[in-house]
Amino acid sequence: MSRTAGKFEWNMVELPDGITTSNGNWYHTTSEHIQKYIPGLLKKHSIEKIIKSADHWVSSANGFALILYLILAFFGIDAFISAAISLVLFLFWHFNTSAFVTPMLNQLVRLFNFDGFLYVSSAGVLIYLSMQGEQTAMWVGLLLFFLFKVGLLKMLLKWITSKKDNNKVEYQDRILNMLLIRYGIKEGLYSGDIQNMQDSLFKTINYHKTKKKKR
């Protein structure tokens, strides 16, 4: 992780066992295997661009849920009802993210992960709620900000799912897999059966996970 003048700067490092990013995500594949998975894709889109987009999708549930609460609270919906709705959206989106992944929405997802957008939106709405005397909505919003922006809820879910099935393909790998497929279809590089493509990538993922554990 690097910082320039106090500003967060995203970066990634490719290792023999996979790709790790400054957001703390580990993808159990390499550029070599991605090139074999969808030949020609890395000539159109850099590995950095693809992995950074995957990182945005991995964290997208946090941004969407937080902004939804702010919108509902701003329009006067009860704080606890708004919080419940945002939590439901978070859980739904978290467990179904890969179904919605598409390069066409990369910029929208990037916006909802942009710190400046989230900080300004949160501060503006929370200050407004406080000025309107909506103290409960303001404090609930502050709590949700820490749950979503810091990623505490996502970390809890990751810990719970990791205890259930260690052999299951990890969340970030499923998202990257779908993003690669959608990129391949978009660029006309996709050929063959999607299930075979997925099986091929998941074998690679499990291979790198096994190597990582043995180190």
Summarize pLDDT for 20-57 with one digit per residue, the tens: 998 889 998 888 888 888 888 999 999 999 999 999 99
Give the pair of three-digit tokens for residue 19.
């790709």
Residue 77, domain extent? 60-150
Same domain, 73 and 111: yes
Dihedral sign from CA coordinates of 195, 198, 204, 207: negative
Nearest Cα neighbor of 178 from 66, 98, 110 is 98
Q: 78 in helix, strand or coil?
A: coil
- Please report whether residue 164 resides in a domain: no
Same domain, 78 and 143: yes
- Please report whether residue 160 resides in a domain: no
Same domain, 68 and 137: yes
Same domain, 53 and 64: no
Same domain, 73 and 134: yes
Per-residue pLDDT of the chain (215 residues), as tens digits, is: 444 444 568 899 998 888 999 888 999 888 888 888 888 899 999 999 999 999 999 999 999 999 999 999 999 999 999 999 999 999 999 989 989 999 999 999 999 999 999 999 999 999 999 999 999 999 999 999 989 988 788 888 877 776 666 557 788 888 998 999 899 888 888 655 555 555 656 665 555 555 555 55
Whose structure tokens read 């978290």? 94
Same domain, 142 and 64: yes
- Please report whether residue 6 resides in a domain: no
Same domain, 67 and 52: no
- Please report whether residue 163 resides in a domain: no
Instruction: Give this prediction's pTM.
Output: 0.82
Total domains, the chain: 2
Same domain, 137 and 178: no
- Please report whether residue 162 resides in a domain: no
Give the pair of three-digit tokens for residue 80.
């606890």
